[in-house]
Structure formats: structure tokens, C-alpha cells
Amino acid sequence: MLDMHPSSAVAMEGDAGRLVQIVTDRDEISDLSRSLISTARRDWMTLDNYVLEASVDEFITVSPLPSFEGEVRCRAIYETRCAEHPVGVKTIEAAVEAGEEARLLPRIGMKMQIVDEAIALLPLTPTGLSGALLVRSSVIVEALREYFEFLWERAIPFGAAQPDSPLSPLQQKILSMMAEGLSDESIARRADVSLSTVRRHSAVIREKLGFESRFAAGVAAARRGWLG
């Protein structure tokens, strides 16, 4: 397999002939995550979601991007919730100032790091801190790059104007009343719809915003400009 895919034999510590390697040591995973970017020669791509082992306030500070002098294109797609937390948005702003191109998506299924066409680091656990997959197979890495590009085309540039609300007029009305703190029963009476209709649309609204809590959903909707 190594002879068939020579591009996978990128020089790194350890056995370069191991096309797929499971890493379970937390310190080794952290070291890999921090050091992989220094091996990039053309592209550095990351996916980052809001799945953390600690609160954002307690989370470790992300190392700044190295100086590539324009030789490496750095791109990151963040789950929108990352940009809705004061610490998260400062982290993204610092990366953008260092030369990163950042975009946002409402939901990202997993974290991921890709180096050129050579290496990818994938999580085996929700956070990836206690189990990760280091992939050097060019076939798999290329497929992961295509997945990243698929998401990149659909993501919103960080700092760009938010798109119009994707909610229906009734959902928009229900959201506004949710933001006022009204109960489902009160919303049903004011909107002249059934209680089950309010609860169904409320669930859709929270799903689109990515929050279970009504309060958190209201805050997120305000930040995205969905409340008008």
C-alpha cells in the first residue's frame, strides 16, 4: 500500500509506513494536534465544533498560527456556537488576524485537522482528547479533503453579515415570543394556534439554532439577527 501511495509516507516522528494509527495517550494527541500544522507546506484545514471537556472559559488557549509568509493557506470551519462565546470569538479573531480564513456552520459533526494531501487527525471520542486516528493514507486524506471542501462551500465567512432567518413567518413569530419569556401556553393563545403546534415549532427553532435551552436559543437568535 505504501508503494501504491508514496505521498502518504510523509516524514514524521514514528513509523511513516503506518497508514492508519490509533493514538490513545492524551499527551501524545495534544502534541500531535499542536505540531501537525508545522508540517504543512500548502494547506492546513480544520473543523472545530463546540464539544469540549471543560467550559470554554477553562479551555486551554489555542496556540497562535505559525508564520507561513503566505506559503500555506490556513482555513478553519467553526461551529457557530464557538463564535457566540466571548472567549471563542476572541480565539477566532486572533487566528484570522494571524492569516487564517475562518467560516461558520450551525453544526459540525466532528473535529478534524488535515495537512496538505498527506495527513489527517480525526477524533475517536467526542472531543478527540482521549482517542484519535492519525491517517497517512492518501486515499482517505483526499476523501476527507473533499468533505472539508463540501462544508467550506456551504459555510458563512466569519464576520460576514448573517443571512436572513431560515424560519417561517409563524416560527419567527413564535421565536419572538419565546425571547420575551412567554410560556408555550401563552404563545399558543397569542398566536391563535394549538399548544402542540407551538411545541413542534419551538423544537424546530431550537434545532436550527443548535440549542436545547430556550434562553440560549433566544440569545443565539439575537446574535444572528433573527429577531429583527
Q: Domain extents for the chain?
A: 6-157, 169-223
Q: Which residue has the cell 490556513?
A: 74
Predicted confidence at residue 17, as pLDDT, reads 54
Query: Model confidence over 99-135: pLDDT tens digits?
Result: 899 999 888 989 999 999 889 999 988 887 888 999 9
Question: Residues in the chain with pLDDT < 70?
Answer: 1-17, 53-69, 160-165, 223-225, 228
Q: Which residue has the cell 467550506?
A: 152
Q: Assign domain 169-223 one CATH number from 3.40.50.740, 3.20.20.70, 1.10.10.10, 3.40.1280.10.
A: 1.10.10.10
Query: Model confidence over 86-106: pLDDT tens digits?
Result: 888 888 998 898 889 999 988
**The model's pTM:** 0.63
- In the chain, % helix, strand, coil (3-state, to 5) comes to 40, 15, 40
| CATH class label, 6-157 | alpha beta
Q: Say if residues 193 and 168 touch (Cβ distance below 8 Å).
A: no
d(CA 110, CA 223): 24
d(CA 86, CA 91): 9
d(CA 93, CA 101): 10
